[in-house]
């Protein structure tokens, strides 16, 4: 995917807030194509990893129940402005993506 994620990260003095949207179709495998009547194959994110300066701080295990273009938001302590955040994902068809941001 050309543009598979958008991340914002900022420190408010107490903690660091991360907000990200992952652009992904998130098909459950239960829906049918209206034209053909055949099931649309499942295509969904199974794992999301979030790193702060190379150290894993959050792992999410997802499944087909997560909506299209999922939004992820969380706060954590121990970061400062200028630190790096990286979010990566894997899906059930072998697809993957990642993106990075600098905490402002």
Structural domain tally of the chain?
1
Q: What residues in the chain have per-residue pLDDT under 50?
A: 1-2
pTM for the full model? 0.91
Note the pLDDT of residue 2.
Answer: 45
Residue range(s) defining the domain that contains residue 94: 5-31+40-102
Task: Give the long-range contacts of residues 45-50, CB within 8 A, separation 24 or more.
Answer: 45/70, 45/89, 45/90, 45/91, 45/92, 46/90, 46/91, 46/92, 47/89, 47/90, 48/22, 48/72, 48/87, 48/88, 48/89, 49/87, 49/88, 49/89, 50/18, 50/74, 50/85, 50/86, 50/87
Domain with 97 in it: what CATH number?
A: 2.60.40.10
Note the pLDDT of residue 69.
Answer: 97
């Amino acid at each position: 995917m050309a543009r598979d994620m958008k991340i914002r990260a900022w420190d408010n003095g107490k903690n660091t807030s991360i907000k990200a949207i992952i652009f992904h179709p998130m098909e459950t495998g239960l829906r049918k194509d209206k034209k053909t009547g055949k099931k649309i194959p499942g295509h969904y994110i199974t794992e999301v990893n979030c790193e702060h300066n190379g150290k894993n701080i959050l792992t999410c295990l997802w499944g087909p129940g997560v909506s299209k273009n999922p939004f992820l938001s969380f706060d954590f302590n121990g970061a400062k402005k200028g630190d790096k955040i990286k979010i990566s994902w894997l899906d059930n068809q072998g697809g993957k993506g990642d993106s990075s941001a600098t905490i402002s």
